[in-house]
Structures are given as structure tokens and as C-alpha cells.
Amino acid sequence: MPSAKKLEEKYKGKSIVFLYVSIDVDMDSWKKALDKLKIDGIHMLDGEGGWKGPVATRYGVTGIPVYFLIGKDGKFAITNTPRPSDIDLLCKEIDKLME
């Protein structure tokens, strides 16, 4: 998650939202991880969780972590979102959306 923190810092104060959705099935473990990682943004837990929960099935999540870049129109901006660790490429894609 260090790369995600760098990304959030780079875009702090800009018109961008970082949304983290977990498919964990254990709410206590999820909350402990949030406290430990101290990542800003919006955090949500898929109520049913797991690989067969609504988030994983609707968006075709077959492995974690997975990343999506969504434009202001609510549509997926690209089909293969770069990982935060590939910060230069990801920032390039984000900047295109902010133009």
C-alpha cells in the first residue's frame, strides 16, 4: 500500500476520489488492516464478501488486488488499469481524465 499512499499524496486537494472496496468476509480483520495501513480515501466492505459476493462477481474480480480507473461519467476509463506501483503510467492515465 505504500504506492497507494504516494498516489493519494500526489493528488491531494484535486478532484479525485480513492475508493477501496474489500471482499473480506471477516469485518474485524478488515478493520484491523485499515487501522494498521492508515490509507486515506473511502473504504467499503462488500457486505457478503468473498469471491462470490456481489462486487467480485459483478466486476469479474478473480484476484486481489485489482484496480479500476473510473471517469467522472462513472464509466471505466481504460480496460487495464496500471497498478499504483507503476505510478508514472497510472498518473498519466489519471491526468488524462482530469483534463
- How many CB atoms are located within 10 Å of the residue 7 CB? 19
Pick from 5-9, 51-55, 89-93 the range whose average pLDDT is largest. 89-93
Question: Smallest Cα–Cα separation from 5: which of 15, 20, 21?
Answer: 20
Predicted local distance difference test score (pLDDT) of residue 38? 86
CB 28 within 8 A of CB 36: no
For the stretch 29-85, pLDDT in tens is: 889 989 998 888 899 998 787 899 999 999 999 888 899 999 989 999 998 899 999
Grade residue 2 by pLDDT with cuts at 50, 70 and 90.
confident
CATH T-level assignment (fold) for domain 2-98: Glutaredoxin (3.40.30)
Secondary structure (H, E, C), the chain: CHHHHHHHHHCCCCCCCCEEEECCCCHHHHHHHHHHHCCCCEEEECCCCCCCCHHHHHCCCCCCCCCCCECCCCCECCCCCCCCCCHHHHHHHHHHHHC
How many other C-beta atoms lie within 10 A of the C-beta of residue 90?
A: 19
| pTM of structure | 0.81
Q: According to the model, what pLDDT value does residue 81 have? A: 93
Statement: residue 87 has pLDDT above 90: yes
Each domain of the chain, given as residue ranges in start order, spans 2-98
